[in-house]
Amino acid sequence: MKTKAQTGRAKEVLLIEDSPGDVRLTREAFRDADASIHLHVAADGVEAMAYLKSDGNQPESPRPDLILLDLNLPRMDGREVLAYIKADAVLKTIPTIILTTSDAEPDIAKSYQLQANCYLSKPGQLDAFEVLMKSVTEFWLKAATLPPRLKA
C-alpha cells in the first residue's frame, strides 16, 4: 500500500498541543506503535508557526508528514494555525488532523470548512485515548499513502 520511497523511513509528526499530560500520552502511544515515528512538539500556535515557517531546512524541524493540532491553544488559536497551514502553498498538502477536547458541531464544521483532513475528539479516559492514538498510527502512518516529501 505504500510506495517504495515511503516505507523504511521514519515519519515526522508535529504535535501542536499545550497540555503536557496529553503530550506525554501521545508520545507514549506513538512509542508503543511499531512504526518509526519522530514526534515534534509545539506548545502553542506561535511556536507551531515558527516551526512550520522554518521551511523544513533545519534538521531539528523537518517538514512534518502529519500534523496533529489542538484547537484550544494559548497565544494563537488552533483555528488560525489551521487556516495558515491550508492557505500556504507548501504546507497545505500536509495531512492535518484536529485532535481536541471539543465535540461541538460548530467546531467540527468550521474545521472541515478550513480543510482539516479529519477531526478527532479527545476522549477523557486514558485507555480510550491510547486506542485513539493507535488508530491514528494504524491509519495515517501505515495504511495511508502520505504526500511525497518535497525534494530540497
Partner 1 sequence: MKMIDKNGMPTEVLLVEDSPGDVRLTQEAFRDANAGVHLHIATGGVEAMTFLKREGNRANAPRPDLILLDLNLPKMDGREVLAHIKGNPALNTIPTIILTTSDAEADIAKSYLLKANCYLTKPVELDTFETLVKSINDFWLMKVRLPQETPNA
Site residues for partner 1, 34-63, by CB under 8 A, read: none
Query: Minimum distance between the CB of residue 18 and partner 1, rounded to whole angstroms?
Result: 21
Using CB atoms within 10 Å of the CB of residue 21, give its burial: 0 to 12 exposed, 13 to 18 middle, 19+ buried: exposed
Stretch that binds partner 1, among 19-27, 49-57, 74-82, 105-113 (CB under 8 A): 105-113
Site residues for partner 1, 64-93, by CB under 8 A, read: 92-93
Residues 111, 71: contact at Cβ < 8 Å?
Answer: yes
- In 31-152, the DSSP E strands lie at 37-42, 66-69, 96-100, 118-121
CA distance 26 to 65: 16
Of 74 and 112, which CB lies nearer to partner 1 in the complex structure? 112
Among 21, 36, 113, 126, binds partner 1 (CB under 8 A): 113
33 binds partner 1 (CB under 8 A): no
Beta-bridge mates of residue 66: 13
Residues 96, 86: contact at Cβ < 8 Å?
Answer: yes
Of 50 and 150, which CB lies nearer to partner 1 in the complex structure? 150
Residues 69, 78: contact at Cβ < 8 Å?
Answer: yes
| Residues binding partner 1 (CB under 8 A) | 1-3, 5, 92-93, 95, 103, 105, 108-109, 112-113, 115, 117-121, 132, 135-136, 138-140, 143-148
